[in-house]
Structure 1
Amino acid sequence: MTTFGYSSSLVVRGTGAFVAGADVTEFKDRDLVEQRTASERPRIYETVANVTIPVIARINGHALGGGCELAQACDIRIAEAGVKLGQPEINLGLIPGGGGTQRLTRLVGEGQAMRLILSGELISAEEAKQLGLVDEVYDTDGIDDAVYSLANSMAEKSPIAIELAKKAIKASSRMGIEDGLEYESELFVQLFATADKNEGIAAFLEGREPEFTGE
């Protein structure tokens, strides 16, 4: 796995596969107690999901098992045409253990999550986009421009506003609508105490690009 950081955004990509899943040979002699220790949180999935800046998964190769779960933990998923994604753990007598049963369901709905997890089926990037698991699909020649253009556009925004926007969006799947609206409103109000809000408004009124400082 390779990460590319911009001032306020992060791109995660792999070499060969997007991210290789778990080494199945490690499971062979591992008992319940050992696996419970290995599964203690926070793991890489939680670490990525909790990053305060935007995280883009550039899915440049197959994303299976834990690799697919890592992509799900990212904020945005952009895949290269022709790659495969899936949760094949059921074929080993297991279930996804890196958040797949939770994040995949939130992305594609319960029925499609059931289909993919219970069958272990691998799907194309194009079908993954139709389902909502992948946000965009590009051919090999176009994916880098698309990914890094998006990363740069987000990196130019106010880091504080980006962080609070992420919190509000993530809350939408964890709160009821009324609580979510109240939470959004509170975060919105908090931004009125920032220098970035003043700079953003001033730049708009003056017809120039803002220069955010994260303050």
Structure 2
Amino acid sequence: MSYNNILSEKNSSLTTITINRPSKLNALNKETIEELHDAFNKANEDKNTKVIIVTGSGEKAFVAGADISEFANFNIKEGAKLAEKGQDLLFNFIENLSTPVIAAVNGFALGGGLELAMACHFRVASENAKLGLPEVSLGVIPGYGGTQRLPQLIGKGRAMELIMTAGMIDASKALNYGLVNHVVALEELLPFCEKIAEKIMRNSSVAIKGAIKAINANYKDGVDGYKAEIKQFGKCFGTEDFKEGTTAFLQKRKADFPGE
């Protein structure tokens, strides 16, 4: 699939996906969401890709929101379908990827942009980042998981205030709230994320896959996260990575995980 709105670049075991609509401040339209799904899916299926970084082109915006012109005239049924398809195709899809996804938030991450960042496994922001869910100022609510993930990350009260005021917070407050893990200078954003990726890539990709499943299980209705952890823990014992990891530890050497 050729892309009109994104760039996907692989360097060794790291794939970097860049939303590339600078004239629209990288706003998410239907085509961009479909392209992102395809790029994430291909990176996840590539056994040599150990970490994915997603960011926006330019210095102003990660993603400034959804492309409002595409759905301004939708009716109730069309609106619900838009949210459902978007969640399934991209946001829930990213959250449940077995490959770790880091959001490198450069500049504005608003509406669908913040929802995209929150769907990633964790976030690093540049100092100029501004984050928020301003949908109620348009007469609508966040529809790509924002009302669910934001309270999980920063707590119900703060999420209620941020959503109801349609406000933005800066990178420093996002760090204080726990919405992002780190804040760095804009020019250091991608190098910093790459350093984290290098640390992740030293470890067992099979074990990381199990950890992602176990952590996510705690946030799913009707699922016992502890039982999910027990299951994933047990599965590790049948892997080549477990054999290599424990053998390397006992032999006092660095592990060379086969990813199996």
3-state DSSP class of the match of 2:94? helix
Q: Deviations over 1:126-184 (max 9, x none)?
A: 1011111111101124322220011122123212101001111112333789x322321
- Tell me the equivalent position of 1:212: 257
Verify: 1:199 aligned to 2:244, yes or no.
yes
3-state DSSP class of the match of 1:85? strand
The structure-2 alpha-carbon separation of the partners of 1:3 and 1:134, relative to structure 1 and needing over 3 Å to count, comes to farther
The structure-2 alpha-carbon separation of the partners of 1:158 and 1:109, relative to structure 1 and needing over 3 Å to count, comes to same
Q: Deviations over 1:29-70 (max 9, x none)?
A: 222232233223313112211211110000012100000000
C-alpha contact (below 8 Å) 2:96/2:212 kept by paired residues: no
Give 2:208's match in structure 1, choosing from 143, 159, 162.
162
Give 2:150's match in structure 1, choosing from 96, 104, 110.
104
- Tell me the equivalent position of 2:117: 71
TM-score normalised to the size of structure 1? 0.92
Give 2:80's match in structure 1, choosing from 26, 32, 36.
36
1:46-125 mapped onto 2 (5 Å cutoff): 46-125=92-171
- Tell me the equivalent position of 2:229: 184
Separation in 1, partners of 2:179, 2:241: 33
C-alpha contact (below 8 Å) 2:129/2:171 kept by paired residues: yes
The answer for unaligned runs of 5 or more in structure 1 is none
RMSD value, Cα: 1.8
- Tell me the equivalent position of 1:14: 56
Separation in 2, partners of 1:192, 1:113: 40
- Tell me the equivalent position of 1:174: 220
The answer for unaligned runs of 5 or more in structure 2 is 1-5, 15-48
Q: Deviations over 1:162-213 (max 9, x none)?
A: 1001111112333789x32232122111111111101001111222221111
- Tell me the equivalent position of 2:67: 23
Q: Deviations over 1:86-136 (max 9, x none)?
A: 000010011100000000010001000000000000010110111111111
User: 1 or 2 for the larger relative contact order (CA 8 Å, sep ≥6)?
Assistant: 1
Deviation at 1:3, TM superposition (A): 5.0
The size of the alignment, in residue pairs, is 214
TM-score normalised to the size of structure 2? 0.77
